[in-house]
Amino acid sequence: MSNTPEPSNLPTSTSGPSEHDGSGEGSASVLLSLRGISKNFGAVQAIQNVNLDVVDGQVTALIGDNGAGKSVLIKTISGIWAPSSGHIYWKGEEIHVHTPRNATDLGIATVYQDLALCDNLDIVQNMYLGREETKFSMLDEIKMELATNQLLKDLSVSTVKSVRQLVASLSGGQRQAIAVARAVMRDSQLVILDEPTAALGVSQTAQVLQLIRTLSSRGITVLVISHNLNDVFTVADRIAVMHLGTLCSSGPASNYDTASAVELITTGHSSRVPPSLLTSS
Amino acid sequence: MSIIVDPVQESSFEKPDRSQLWYRRLLANQQFLLLLVTIAIFVFFAFNRHVFASAGEFGNNVTNFCTLVLLGVGETYVIATGGIDLSVGSTVSLSGVVGAIAMEHLAMHSELLVLSVGTVVCIGIGILVGVVNSALIHYARLVPFVATLVTWGAGAGMCLVLTGGAPIGQNSGAIALTVPKIWIFSYPALIIIAITFVAGLFLHLSRFGRFTFAVGSNAFAARAVGINVKRQVTSVYVLSGALAGITGMFVYMRLGSGAPTAGTGQELIAIAAVVIGGARLTGGSARLSGTVIAAWMITIVSSGLIFMNVSPNYNQVAVALLIATAATAQALRKSARQSS
């Protein structure tokens, strides 16, 4: 891991932007830092030596072609898979995320592409899965139902008939809303969204994008994976581009346009972005 | 945390859908329909043979029911995780046989001590089988069907090795305990019914039960929220084994000996009870009340056919018909839901 910076060089919650930033945002603090993260499955190198800073309170979009390693990277952050090598820093402190529970305990919530919902459970049961409220060692269904109703009302999720509906009976947009609401209700500091607008209609996409902005305005950091560059440029404060398992560029969204993003996604290089935003792996 | 995304629409989900009348919801409930069918079957047999409704016959049916219901309870947990446990029948036999051997060695001691040790041994054997099942699933990477088929075969074989094919022991004191003492219930039957009740509460009202359904519904989703899927599956197979061990002890008490074939075929009847009770074999959905009603239904059908002078060989045919009817009803309800 020759490219891995020493921990002493890492941006912390009070330090300036990362070495690849080039934005001049001296006041930005970093919530999550990845240094030299690699993950291989046997002989297959899924991601290699990824260095990424996720800035606190901002929306970072992670973009890349199919197979670029985006989902592997977020599953590594989320504790689904342990990294083969590299370091993860949370607010400047090195952390070891071995299980999804470790990640959620830190305040990292992930909404997976397949939403990771249990179809045979209802909305309340899914919302509280793994964090059930209990009373005398028994599930406190009333408390959970009331809280779920309130949260969905706050989120203006008004299209579900009942919170006791099975998730299997929900539409794609409703399922997305439930998955995001579940991430929000756990007081997460970082919400990772994997393709949140895939397979959604126009109005549902707009709602999800609005939801992302709202999360950010409330101080919640968002890391969003998307194929849709329109969505990315609508909501992202920062952009990180992956190509063939490596992070080829990252920086403020204002430094990119659609053409440069496409060029980076397809080739891993672009002459249209400042050289300081390009990462040599 | 209050997050307003689009404060334009008044939420409608707070008002539960009351458009369906209560009796329509009741009739759509599979467990309620099952109960109605069970009552109808009982009334049919009682009408044709009045003695079928006597307290004595009720007591016999309760005893027969107790040899099946705990296997159904364990199987419900396992099937809720998307697995299956074929080993419970041979675990009943094996635990009964090993328990009988242990009790034979303690024959000089008090009846209470003998039976207590026997119960512990039976449960221990059941737990051991559950641990082996779990190890085969998680470490040998066998699918549950194959893993439990292995332990089913091994358990049945061990019974024959240990006994030479003949029952072990002759404990008339144990048999006396299975005679009804409180109306139609013997003391062991009351314990088994209590365990069934607690298991039902545990499955439907505890976090353990919720995790069990979550694992069967979507193991990745369960893991993603921090549920230890391996531990959950292991716990469920151990529970199923332990309940089979308790059943093994009950069967021993009923027979007064450890019979190597005491549990033969019981695994399929237990699975039948779970399926008839409305569980999905794919996991994530099951009702313990359904399993209990179905176990009672199978018990009275078997008993009723004997009263009607029908050859016992037709029992399996009757159970097969019940399974086919329940599975068809479930499939029709599913397709009706999808088309609506």
Question: pLDDT digits over A97-106, tens only?
Answer: 888 888 888 8
Asked if B45 and B308 count as a contact pair (C-beta separation under 8 A), the reply is yes
Q: Which residues of B touch A119 (CB under 8 A)?
A: 217-218, 284
pTM above 0.90, yes or no: no
Worst-scoring range by mean pLDDT, A58-67, A217-226, B18-27, B45-54? B18-27
Task: List, for chain B, all residue ranges whose pLDDT scores fall below the cut of 70.
Answer: 1-21, 337-340
Higher pLDDT, B283 or A153: B283
**Which among A24-38, A175-189, A194-208, B256-270 has the top mean pLDDT?**
B256-270
Q: Are B260 and B61 in contact (CB under 8 A)?
A: no
ipTM for the predicted complex comes to 0.84
Taking every pair of Cα atoms in chain A, the longest distance, rounded to a whole number of angstroms, is 63
Q: Are B96 and B252 in contact (CB under 8 A)?
A: yes
Q: Quote the CA–CA distance of A86 and B289 in Å, as a whole number.
A: 51
CA-based nearest residue in chain A for residue B338: A169
Q: How many CB pairs under 8 A join A and B?
A: 126
pLDDT of residue A279 exceeding 80, the answer is no
Taking alpha carbons only, the member of B155, B326, B166 closest to residue B258 is B166
Cβ contact, residue pair B214, A207, below 8 Å: no
Minimum distance, in Å, between the CA of residue B215 and any CA atom of chain A:
9
- Residue with the bigger pLDDT between B157 and A268: it is B157
* CA nearest neighbour of B134 among B234, B232, B227: B234
> Tokens 């849709």 — which residue?
A228
Give the pLDDT band (50/70/90) at residue A114: confident
Dihedral angle computed from the Cα positions of residues B23, B28, B30 and B35, in that order, rounded to the nearest 10 degrees: 20
Contact A160 B210 (CB under 8 A): no
Q: What is the percent of chain B with per-residue pLDDT over 70, rounded to a whole number?
A: 92
Contacts of B1 in chain A (CB under 8 A): 151, 154, 184-185, 187, 218
Structure tokens at B233: 């599956």
Rounded to an integer, what distance in angstroms lies between the CA atom of residue B101 and that of residue A95?
Answer: 54
Q: What is the pLDDT of residue A174?
A: 82
CA atoms within 13 A on the CB side of B134: 21
What's the CA gap between A240 and B193, in Å, rounded?
A: 60
Could you tell me the two tokens for B235? 């716990």
Sequence-separated (6 or more) residues with CB below 8 Å from residue B135: none
- What per-residue confidence (pLDDT) applies to A54? 93
How high is the pLDDT of residue B240? Answer: 98
- For residue B3, list chain A residues with Cβ-Cβ distance below 8 A: 154-155, 184, 211, 214-215, 218
Greater model confidence, A29 or B329: A29
- Residue B80: what residue type? A
**Mean pLDDT value of segment A12-32:** 52
Better-predicted residue by pLDDT, A260 or A19: A260
Strands (E), chain A: 30-41, 44-55, 59-64, 85-90, 93-95, 108-111, 134-135, 138-139, 190-194, 221-225, 238-243, 246-252
pLDDT: is B225 or A133 the higher one?
A133
Res A278 pLDDT > 90: no
pLDDT at res. B327: 80
Once rounded to an integer, what is the mean pLDDT over residues A246-260?
A: 91
Residue A185: its chain B contacts at CB < 8 A? 1
